[in-house]
Structure 1
Amino acid sequence: MTKDAVRTAVHRFISRLLENQDDFDDNSNLVQLGLDKEDIQELVFHLEDQLGLTAFTAEEDRMLKTATTVDDLSRFLIEIGRY
């Protein structure tokens, strides 16, 4: 799993959540894009399944509290992919 593959998957799923809105980048704020905590949690669960990753509940909780940007989500998925 490469960083580019994770980034592409994150962008693709966010775009679907936003009804194909593509005018965001890695530094875009998740809340400003209109994503709430449930959207972000759904995104993470979907991407974990898609990428074959599993995170501990504590890791997911930490990420949900600290992730503010699109890049934060990508970095989290790359981090749990290293286990």
Structure 2
Amino acid sequence: MKRTDIRKSVHDFVSLRLDDHQAFADDQSLQALGFDTQDIEDLMFRLEDEFDLTAFTEEEDRLLKEAVTVNDLSRFLQKIARH
């Protein structure tokens, strides 16, 4: 799975959740974009489904605690794609 494909999908999914489809950078804070913990969890599950990936519960829990930026979501998907 290519990093560019993952990045594009993450950006597409985040953009869909933004009311005004504003532009954002990979290092943009998810919280600054208006995402709360529940939104991040929902986004994570949707992205896992998009790529037919499954993470261990402990990995998902860690992401929810540590996901600060859009790039964090991309890195998470890259990591679980290697399982």
In 2: Cα distance, 1:80 partner to 1:13 partner: 18
Cα distance in 1 between the residues matched to 2:22 and 2:49: 23
How big is each residue's C-alpha offset from its partner over 1:4-41, in whole Å with a ceiling of 9 and x where there is no partner?
00000000000001135131010000000000011100
In the alignment, what sits opposite 1:44? 44
The answer for unaligned runs of 5 or more in structure 1 is: none
Match in the other structure for 1:72: 72
| CA distance in structure 2 between the aligned counterparts of 1:33 and 1:48, rounded to whole angstroms | 21
SS in 2 for 1:27: coil
Kindly tell me the number of residue pairs found equivalent between the two proteins. Answer: 83
Q: Which residue of 1 aligns with 2:55?
A: 55
Aligned residues: CA RMSD: 0.8
- How far apart are the structure 1 equivalents of 2:62 and 2:55? 11
1:7 match:
7
Equivalence for 1:21: 21
Q: Distance in 1 between matches of 2:45 and 2:27?
A: 21
Pair 1:3–1:20, CA change in 2 (3 A): farther
Gaps of 5+ in 2: none
How many percent identity over aligned positions?
51
Give me the TM-score of the superposition, normalised by structure 2: 0.96
